[in-house]
């Protein structure tokens, strides 16, 4: 069965610090997708990034970067120079394509608090 573990339940840092959110996954599938979503205090779920299992390139988008390592089944997320607006719950998710649909299995989420 697929499983996603976000071992850090809560993280609190001071603004401008760098912070890394860990994500470890388990799957027997050779083709799968990994995602990160952000849930700010307003409650909506915001898509951040998708990674295919066959593409291990790391990605950088502004202050956000993602490190995908199949050897350790990890897909970690780093925020550089954090800002108060980054405060949210962040979810890592794994999906298995199922007849065209994406069955997302979410981690427990990491609540990130950026203090001014």
**Which residues contact another protein by CB under 8 A?**
33, 35, 37, 39, 43-47, 50, 52, 89, 91, 93, 97-106, 108-109
CB of 60 to another protein, least distance (A): 18
Nearest to 26 by CA among 58, 65, 66, 53: 53
Looking at beta carbons only, is 15 or 24 nearer to another protein?
24
Question: How would you label 62-71 residue by residue, b for 16+ Cβ within 10 Å and e otherwise?
Answer: eebbbbbeee
Looking at beta carbons only, is 9 or 71 nearer to another protein?
9
- Could you give phi then psi for residue 24, rounded to 5 degrees? -120, 135
Looking at beta carbons only, is 17 or 29 nearer to another protein?
29
CB of 54 to another protein, least distance (A): 11
Q: Are the C-beta atoms of residues 82 and 64 closer than 8 Å to each other?
A: no
CB of 10 to another protein, least distance (A): 11
CB of 8 to another protein, least distance (A): 14
Nearest to 77 by CA among 43, 115, 38: 38
Looking at beta carbons only, is 47 or 83 nearer to another protein?
47
Within the chain, residue ranges assigned H as helices are none
């Amino acid at each position: 069965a697929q499983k996603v573990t976000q071992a850090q339940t809560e993280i609190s840092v001071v603004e401008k610090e760098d912070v890394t959110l860990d994500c470890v996954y388990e799957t027997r599938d050779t083709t799968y997708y990994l995602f990160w979503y952000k849930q700010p205090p307003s409650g909506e779920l915001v898509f951040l990034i998708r990674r295919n299992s066959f593409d291990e390139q790391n990605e950088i988008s502004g202050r956000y970067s993602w490190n995908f390592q199949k050897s350790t089944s990890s897909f970690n997320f780093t925020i550089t120079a954090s800002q108060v607006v980054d405060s949210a719950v962040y979810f890592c998710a794994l999906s298995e394509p199922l007849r065209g649909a994406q069955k997302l299995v979410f981690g427990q989420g990491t609540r990130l608090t950026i203090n001014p």
